[in-house]
Amino acid sequence: MKTIEIKSAWNGNSNCEACSIRSSALFAELNEEDFSKIHSPIDDLSFEAYANIYTQGDSSQSLYTLREGYIKLLHINPNGSSRIVRVVLPGNLFGMEALLGEHYEHSAVALTNVRLCRIPKVIISSLGEESPRLHRQIVKKWGEALSQSESWFSEINTGRIEVRLAHFLLKLAKELGSSAIAPLFRREDMGLMMDVKFETISRALASMAEQGLLTNITRLSVQIPSIEALRRFSERGI
């Protein structure tokens, strides 16, 4: 883990004003006056793939904004079984339950190498009382997270596996004109996300490649020759 402490939230080594995801992150609507009220440090952290960011039940002292990579939020049930409830994308906020309780409700685990900002919840609590802008952004980000979780379950946990996989890839795809590229994770993780065995994921990828929907499937990524063709395939649902 590489840690860079930001000396000032507004002027420092990892200048929040110039952050590449600032427009989509928690502090998007804040101005210089708001940032001048922040006195606690914000940490700029790097984790390697499969590292634990925090574990379900840990004391919740911070919120996080993901800058690069992908993170899974994993819920462990009382019987020991686990379920991935959300994949965190760059620009997303996670660990928001820190604002409501004393412990994290899920485990956060890196799916890839990641870079993130760790924000002490004392900053959010104190600044939220003084800045309506931050309060609006918190409500917005919380709503986005709930919407993502709901669509996650409805779109990739029901229906034929190839259709689930199409929805999954469309959520993560980076469009390059009419084509796109999407990340792939360990097949075990993808099976856990879609509630199927990992062998089923491999078979579905092969089937979609045979249909011309996917090409260049590797351990970490897949190319989508036509994003519109994949979208039509996902909408047909057959």
Q: Please write the tens of the pLDDT for every residue from 108-132.
A: 999 999 999 888 887 777 666 666 6
pLDDT at 8 over 60: no
C-alpha 62/C-alpha 55 separation (Å) is: 13
pLDDT score at 82: 84
> Does residue 75 sit in the same domain as residue 169?
no
pLDDT at 237 over 80: no
pLDDT score at 159: 84
Non-local CB neighbours of 23 within 8 Å, separated by 6+ positions: none
The answer to whether 128 and 141 are in contact (CB under 8 A) is no
> Does residue 164 sit in the same domain as residue 142?
no
pLDDT at 9 over 50: no
Compare 106 and 3 and report the one with higher pLDDT.
106
The answer to whether 204 and 165 are in contact (CB under 8 A) is yes
Non-local CB neighbours of 169 within 8 Å, separated by 6+ positions: 182, 214, 222, 224, 230
Question: Which tokens hold the place of 226?
Answer: 């036509």
pLDDT score at 72: 94
> Does residue 10 sit in the same domain as residue 78?
yes
Residue carrying the six token digits 């922040």: 38
Q: Final residue of a domain: which of 115, 138, 155?
A: 155
Please report, for the domain that includes residue 25, its CATH number: 2.60.120.10
Domain range enclosing 75? 2-155
> Does residue 165 sit in the same domain as residue 199?
yes
Q: Final residue of a domain: which of 123, 155, 187?
A: 155
Question: What single string gives the DSSP state of each residue in 187-209?
Answer: HHHHHHHHTS-HHHHHHHHHHHH
The overall average pLDDT reported for the chain is: 81
Residue 108 C-beta-side C-alpha neighbours within 13 Å: 28
pLDDT score at 42: 74
pLDDT score at 27: 63
Predicted confidence band of residue 83 (pLDDT cuts 50, 70, 90): confident
| Coil vs helix vs strand at 220 | coil
Q: Please write the tens of the pLDDT for every residue from 178-219.
A: 899 999 999 999 998 888 898 999 999 999 999 999 999 999
Among 143-157, 192-206, 217-231, which stretch is predicted with the lowest mean pLDDT?
143-157
pLDDT at 50 over 70: yes
Q: Count the Cβ atoms, other than its own, within 10 Å of residue 120.
A: 17
> Does residue 111 sit in the same domain as residue 132?
yes
pLDDT score at 30: 63
pLDDT score at 15: 55
Helix residue spans in 103-184 (DSSP H): 121-130, 132-156, 161-172
> How many residues are there in the chain?
238
